[in-house]
Structure 1
Amino acid sequence: MFDFMDMDFADSSALPTSTGPYIPDASECMRCGMCVSSCPTFRLLAVDEETPRRRIRTINKLLIEDQAISADEQQHLLNCLQCRACETVCPSRMAYGQLFDQALLALKRTPTRLAKWGLWLITYKKWRRRLMPVLAIYLRSGLRKPLQRSGLLRKWALAEAEALLTPPALSSLAAYYPGKNTNRGQVALFTGCIAEHFDRETLQASIRVLNAMGYEVLVPPQQVCCGAIHQHNGLPAETMMAKNMAVFNALSVEAVLYTATGCGAMLADYQSDDNQQSAHFKQRLQDINDFVLKHWPQQLNLRPLKEKAAVHEPCSQRNVLKNTTTVYALLAKIPDLQITSLADNSICCGAGGSYMLSHPDNAAKLLSMKKQVIAAAEADILVSSNFGCTTFMHTDTQKLLHPMCLLDRQL
């Protein structure tokens, strides 16, 4: 319990800085327990092994003591959703997310054959695009329900992924979209990888909103996946980081905008051997909600909407980017719209990037809890700024929209 007393407080480099999290030695965890109640897996399983403080002990073994960990310790470590809610309450401002990523790299795990295939498709855009017509044919063929009933999808470990499928966009986005009426400047849009095909509605709505505001939108076709899925599965993402920084830094734009907060959290953490390159990239990087709110033209009016909207705050937005208030201010521009915060926003919905596929049982339990909260909200619309969350939380009773989609509908 008193492990923190071994800390050398005379060493000023080990102390937290005045702003933001830092990366201390994992042994510096104070074991205060403040993170316990914020952890989704502890809420699910109610055992101390499923808390951030116990995972920090495992991370300490890997990174500081250079010790092997047991199978149980590894399992409890990998049960983490990486929601980083623990960072928001940690008195030491410990950068748990970065320590966790370092620990995954140290484990040197070999992905399953299926995971390797999925990561390969995420990496290589050309082959991913070639797969989309096949998926579209499958969804239209009538084979879906018989295949689901057959049990083969579960046998092949594809059931969870297949259940999330929606008709993909088959065409590519244009590289350039001109603004309307006035030319206020140029912005670039980061599309993501899976979202480029399965969240086309949000991307197109974002472009229309930006165009209506007078901005030209560039969509560089050379951009690639942000790298979050790779990094959070213990694989290097430096190649994707370097590619995206080179592509967007070459553009003369006012801002680089992302629509999915999960991607934004990764993009905001980009690092490079060339500090100037990464600094230039991050200097122009903005959440599209922030940019639109800041630059909204006074003469651009929205149609009234007499409905109730509940706002879901993704973990990446709440715990990493820390810009949840923007969405509420943006939606307030819609006359007559009743806006409320979804209860229990501090607890992850269970999507967690690829967690919904790698830990389907835990994810399903968290989703069940979240859907109870959604039903209790009695809202007409559920608003969320992260593609992974909206895909996973799909309901049959509420419209589930990105803020840009709702603004676009009311233009």
Structure 2
Amino acid sequence: MFDFMDMGFGPTSDQPITGPYIPDASDCLRCGQCVSSCPTFRLFQTNEETPRSRIRTISKILLENQAITPDERQYLDNCVQCRACEAVCPSKMAYGELFDQARAQLHTGPDWLGKLAFWFIENKRWRFGLLPLLAAYLKSGLQKPLRRIGLLKKLRLAEADALLLQPALKPLAAQHPAMGTKRGQVALFTGCIAEHFDQGTLQAAITLLNAIGYEVVVPPQQACCGAVHQHNGQSATDLIAKNLAVFNALEADAVLHTATGCGAMLSGYPDEDTGAAGLFRQRLQDIQAFLLDHWPESLPLQALPEKVAVHEPCSQRNVLKNQQTVYALLAKIPGLEVAALADNPLCCGAGGSYMLTRPDNAKQLRGLKRQAIAAAQADWVVSSNFGCAVFLGAEGGKVVHPLHILVRQLPTNLK
């Protein structure tokens, strides 16, 4: 066992530090804890596919102002950004922030498909305008012939097409009154894609909050959290500024998110001189943590004699670090057996947009996770992140948000 107190971990005197700390190469090689936690090392078993190798590449970009080789860029882009390395690093290296800075400094603009995706994420009105066309496409039966002739693959749309769900064609109402005596008011962050493709989870959140006495407001002016932009080297400044302005203007007791991927980004909003991000973070909470803290003893849930296997998203385990709230909340259902999915520390491969940009790697990781799901022999598999649930549930699987089980067990008069 290494004694980290004797290793001298910390900034070296000859290394200029202008942002998050990058450990010296010798420090990075002493411990190796990040290696065993890294999903790409699990796949490839090579040093180049480890966090300590990538941090050397990041150091070249951010500190040494050196060009990196195509191979180094490939290994950097293979990172799932799960941040498991950050969670175990004894040097407390802010790997996620460093990775985002490095990608931004590489100044690699998106291709036509990436530009289109970013544009739709940024423009809610156009997204809603095109949803009827997408819904018609999914109902038309065109998917199979287009896949068969290989057109979707040629257009590099095959991976996205395989994950498509029927979208909700109408936005959520802006206000949802509490049932019975009103205890307070909360604001719901809906995200961008989830607003259309995971509206059932958002509706479940609203139903549960109303049932425990909270009015829910859903500000239509809110924007994407900015995670997809920031993690792919693009600026999320405008999206962040918009969300801060919209939510800070509300008189809500809390701002709640249902997807841990969004929550990880929202909780890391940087503070400017105005202190707007600090004010926003003071009220920001995960929906499950809020429900757990405010669940009334007078509201029992209906029994469910079944088994639930809990998948813990990387954003929940490694950034928010609140995965235990899922177990505690589900434990309120009498008769329900709740168990952690085996090998939860290993990323499922979704990784935000990673499942689209690195599909081969992502599918290998998903295959390992599906083995754990099969071995669990559970009636339900739950995940608190929309992207993980969609990716794991694609092609015949079924993974739901924990809120779906909770709302299902509410007394009939509250549904």
Does TM-score exceed 0.5, indicating one fold? Answer: yes
**Which residue of structure 1 aligns with residue 212 of structure 2?**
213
**Which residue of structure 2 aligns with residue 402 of structure 1?**
401
Which residue type is aligned with residue 93 of structure 1?
Answer: K
**Which residue of structure 2 aligns with residue 39 of structure 1?**
38
Matches within 5 A, 1:5-24: 23-24=20-21
CA distance in 2: counterparts of 1:263 and 1:215, whole angstroms: 22
CA distance in 1: counterparts of 2:73 and 2:39, whole angstroms: 18
Which residue type is aligned with residue 130 of structure 2?
Answer: L
- Residue 30 (str. 1) matches residue 40 (str. 2): no
Higher mean alpha-carbon deviation, 139-148 vs 39-48, is at 139-148
CA distance in 2: counterparts of 1:351 and 1:254, whole angstroms: 32
**Which residue of structure 2 aligns with residue 321 of structure 1?**
320
CA distance in 1: counterparts of 2:327 and 2:212, whole angstroms: 19
Q: Are the equivalent residues in 2 in contact too, given 1:36–1:51 (CA < 8 A)?
A: yes
CA distance in 2: counterparts of 1:395 and 1:139, whole angstroms: 15
Shift in Å, 1:27: 3.7
**Which residue of structure 1 aligns with residue 385 of structure 2?**
386
Matches within 5 A, 1:8-407: 23-25=20-22, 27=24, 29-31=27-29, 32-394=31-393, 399-407=398-406
Shift in Å, 1:34: 1.3
Q: Count matched residues.
A: 400
Q: Unaligned regions of 5+ residues in structure 2, if any?
A: 1-6, 411-415
Q: Are the equivalent residues in 2 in contact too, given 1:226–1:240 (CA < 8 A)?
A: yes
Shift in Å, 1:261: 0.1
State the secondary structure of the residue aligned to 1:149.
Answer: helix
Summarize the Cα distance change of 1:69–1:175 in structure 2 as closer, same or farther, 3 Å threshold: same
Shift in Å, 1:25: 3.2
Shift in Å, 1:274: 3.0
Q: Are the equivalent residues in 1 in contact too, given 2:185–2:216 (CA < 8 A)?
A: yes
Summarize the Cα distance change of 1:251–1:154 in structure 2 as closer, same or farther, 3 Å threshold: same
CA distance in 2: counterparts of 1:52 and 1:30, whole angstroms: 9
**Which residue of structure 1 aligns with residue 4 of structure 2?**
none
- Say what the alpha-carbon RMSD is for the aligned residues: 1.7
% identical equivalent positions = 61
CA distance in 2: counterparts of 1:64 and 1:27, whole angstroms: 12
Shift in Å, 1:390: 0.3
Q: Are the equivalent residues in 2 in contact too, given 1:84–1:97 (CA < 8 A)?
A: yes
CA distance in 2: counterparts of 1:119 and 1:26, whole angstroms: 33
CA distance in 1: counterparts of 2:65 and 2:12, whole angstroms: 23
Q: Are the equivalent residues in 2 in contact too, given 1:305–1:335 (CA < 8 A)?
A: yes
Which residue type is aligned with residue 119 of structure 1?
Answer: F
Deviations 1:71-98 (A, max 9, x none): 0000001100000000111011111000
Q: Are the equivalent residues in 2 in contact too, given 1:26–1:59 (CA < 8 A)?
A: no
Deviations 1:312-362 (A, max 9, x none): 000000000000100000000000001100000000000000000000000
CA distance in 1: counterparts of 2:76 and 2:265, whole angstroms: 21
Shift in Å, 1:124: 0.7
Shift in Å, 1:9: 5.6
CA distance in 2: counterparts of 1:226 and 1:276, whole angstroms: 18
Q: Are the equivalent residues in 1 in contact too, given 2:306–2:335 (CA < 8 A)?
A: yes
Higher mean alpha-carbon deviation, 213-222 vs 297-306, is at 297-306
Deviations 1:46-78 (A, max 9, x none): 110000000000000001100000000000011
